[in-house]
Structure formats: C-alpha cells, structure tokens
Amino acid sequence: MQIGPYSLPNNLVVAPMAGVTDRPFRQLCRRFGAGYAVSEMITADKSLRLSKKTLRRADFDGEPSPIAVQIAGSDPHELAAAARYNVEQGAQIVDINMGCPAKKVCNKLAGSALLQNETLVAEILTAVVRAVDVPVTLKTRLGFRNGEENILRVARLAEECGIAALAVHGRTREDMYNGEARFDLIREVKSQIGIPLIANGDIDSPQKARTVLEATGADAIMIGRAAQGRPWLFREIAHFLATGELLPPPGLEEIREVLLEHLDELHAFYGEYSGCRIARKHIAWTTCGLAGSNEFRSQMYGLEDCARQRDAVKQYFDGLMAG
C-alpha cells in the first residue's frame, strides 16, 4: 500500500473516529499491527486552532511516520489554510473529511453533507491539493441519500483533482451506521480509478476482512468501530490474511495488561479529570461480554479519579482470573 512517497507496512488502516482515535488509541492499534492511522477530524476553523481539544487532536508525539491529519470544514480557502497549517506542524499526509454523518457536522455543510454539491467538492479538493506539497487523501461515503449515490463521480473528481488515495465507507449519509455496508459500488469505484482505494464498513473479523478485500478489489481496508475495545483485531486480521489461520483470542491476562497500559496512557495524555472520564468508554468496550461486566461497569462509572479507576479494573480482572 502506497500513499504518495510513503510505503505502508501493510494494508490495515485505523479509521478516523471523533472521540476515539486519539494518540493513545492510534498507538495501541499500531502496536497490534495496524499499518496506518488517521487522526480524529480537526476543524478548519482558524479560531479553534489553539483550543485544548484541537491541540490534543493534533498531538502526534512519538508516533511512527507517516503522520496523517484529517481536516473538516466546508470552505475551500479555510480548508486550504488548515492544510498548510497542519503541514507546518508536522503532518505528512492531509486527509479531507467528506464522510462524517453526524448531525452537528452536516448542519455546517461539512462531512458527508458536502456530497450534495459536487462543484464544491471539486473546489475543496483542488484548493487543498494546491495548498500543500504532501499527499492529500479523501474519506467519503457512497453518497448523501439512498438512490442518489454519486461516489463514482466523486471518485473520478478526486483522482482528477490530485487526491493520492480514497477511502470509501460502504453506506450513504442517510444510512448512518444502520443496515449492512454495500461493497458493490466500491468495487465499481476501484475499476474506474487508478489511485489506491481503501474499503471501509462492517469489517469486524479476519474472515470479513478477506471477504471485503476480495469483493471490492480494494488496496487496503479501514477498520473503525470493530477495533473499539479490540485493538488486537489488527493482529488477528494480519495473521489470517498472511496464513489463512485464525489466531486464538487473547486471554484474560493479556486483555488486562493491554487495558491497564491503555488507561495509563489516557490518564497521562488527558490528565486526572478528563482522563478518568474518557477512559470509561474504553473500559466498557473492552469488558463487554465478560462475566459480571455489567455490574462492574455500573460501579466503575461512579469512580472519579484515575488511581481508583485503575485499581477497580485490576481487581475486576484479577477476580475473573481467580474464578
């Protein structure tokens, strides 16, 4: 998998997810075998560049190359300026968000709402590509509404405008995350463009990863929600694609150690107040389905300091392993 001058170690990509793919999570997924990770979306609004949230989202300290920053907005000039700024701060690849289905994003005519205006799409892509001397990529969906899928035209526009790689989620904005991702159109896109294509949507197992790669002919796959609480999914997929064999699931001891290390990273990254609260969803995702996890999570949500939260997680797993 190649994006501009960058050769990725494999074809497994961590999807950018707001509130999830912060530096600790990206590093965790890379540790388990993801070959590439894109930041949470960073607003193109210049007035918010120095906000605490934006600065955290743009923190790539210690991460391997290439550093990929996703920008979001609707004004071509703002997005071009945001691209230049982030490259000056160390971004090696700029990704444009035209896929987010969130209401608060679409209401600003950003994210997947942009798919309603192909002229504006072309203006944005052209402006950003011309603004920087690093590869620019695009993350998008099949279209805005069902029955109005325009991904084939958008994909051709992307290539014409100089986009270096295209990631496509197999749903429209209208679908949100409901129903099943559709890969037939992604296969059509692949047949009509020459730039690398990354398929995204519903990839939650090694078998599904192989199925999607075969069904779409994509150069890579992008994994998002399925990796929440399961960063070892990348290890399992990489092994299966290479050997055809399924790895056994991680044991309780490994899960405990991975989660505790992740908590330490989150607590250090966000600080006492935010770190404890942000860690809760990662604890919930990781413990989902384990014995007594519902009761444990109910108790854990009431803890408001990092040390007690860490101790509670350790004691929960120790109890599982002793039982």
Catalytic positions are: 100
Cα–Cα dist 22/263, whole Å:
13
Calculate the alpha carbon distances from 118 to 126, 142, 158, 183, 236 in Å: 12, 13, 11, 22, 39
Burial environment of residue 103 by CB neighbours within 10 A (0 to 12, 13 to 18, 19 or more): exposed
Burial environment of residue 313 by CB neighbours within 10 A (0 to 12, 13 to 18, 19 or more): buried
Contact yes or no for 27/63 (Cβ under 8 A): yes
Contact yes or no for 70/97 (Cβ under 8 A): yes
235-239's contacts with Cβ under 8 Å and 24+ in sequence apart are 235/32, 235/33, 236/205, 236/206, 237/12, 237/33, 237/203, 237/205, 237/206, 237/209, 238/10, 238/12, 238/33, 239/206
Cα–Cα dist 57/254, whole Å:
28
- Please give the angle made by the CA atoms of 180, 106 and 177, to the nearest 5 degrees: 15
Cα–Cα dist 212/182, whole Å:
10
* Residue 246 DSSP label: P
Q: In 3D, which of 255, 259, 251 has the Cα closest to residue 283?
A: 259
